[in-house]
């Protein structure tokens, strides 16, 4: 009986990142807030990019590249110092952080995603929204000990809703919605030490979209 309780406690701890977050619950909530707040990035890029360019004298893609280099350099410095900041998890003191993977992947998506549909946002917006909204959703469902099957179903249907809505809003091809939605959820699942799901949830669906784009 004691062994069974031990296993359950271990699984529960693996699903709950609060104890391992700098700042505890508040740090965890801050991390989620930052994640959700990234929704605004593609909206600024596709709708206000030209306005920002007129002020800076740089093309939107050049500005994104500068931000990507800034993220890379700041992460190198952070790892050299060996610190974790509020909202990060303890293990990120010795490995590339989720912010690094998410930030650079968002930048890469904005730079290379096909620019189709309204304001060229038909792919970039749903790809980034799938990361910023679905990753926290899946994490919180697991933290609440929701069963694996339900987590997959809720994640898939929520992602599908994003892509279908973007089809209505941005002219994203409806035909790819079921397939990309499945890829997004599947890409979140592997627990790899050399790359974070904040990267895989964007880069794998992005690669799929890039390969399909000549036919769409």
In tens, the pLDDT along 17-54 reads 777 777 778 888 888 999 999 999 999 999 999 999 99
- pLDDT at residue 58, as a whole number: 96
Average pLDDT of span 111-120: 96
Nearest-CA neighbor of 38 among 123, 125, 132, 136?
Answer: 132
Q: What sign results for the dihedral spanned by CA atoms 94, 99, 102, 105? A: negative
- For all residues of the chain together, what is the average pLDDT? 90
């Amino acid at each position: 009986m004691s062994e069974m309780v031990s296993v359950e406690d271990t699984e529960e701890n693996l699903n709950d990142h609060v104890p391992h977050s700098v700042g505890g619950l508040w740090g965890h909530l801050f991390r989620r807030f930052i994640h959700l707040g990234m929704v605004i990035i593609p909206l600024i890029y596709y709708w206000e990019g030209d306005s920002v360019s007129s002020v800076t004298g740089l093309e939107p893609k050049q500005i994104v590249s500068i931000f990507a280099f800034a993220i890379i350099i700041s992460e190198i410095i952070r790892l050299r110092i060996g610190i974790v900041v509020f909202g990060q998890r303890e293990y990120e003191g010795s490995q590339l952080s989720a912010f690094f993977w998410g930030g650079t992947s968002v930048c890469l998506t904005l730079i290379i995603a096909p620019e189709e549909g309204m304001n060229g946002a038909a792919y970039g917006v749903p790809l980034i929204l799938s990361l910023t909204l679905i990753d926290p959703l899946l994490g919180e469902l697991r933290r609440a000990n929701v069963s694996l099957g339900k987590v997959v179903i809720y994640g898939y249907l929520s992602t599908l809703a994003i892509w279908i809505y973007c089809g209505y809003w941005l002219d994203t091809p409806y035909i790819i919605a079921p397939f990309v939605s499945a890829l997004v959820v599947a890409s979140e699942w592997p627990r790899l030490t050399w790359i974070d799901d904040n990267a895989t949830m964007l880069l794998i669906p992005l690669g799929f979209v890039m390969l399909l784009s000549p036919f769409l």
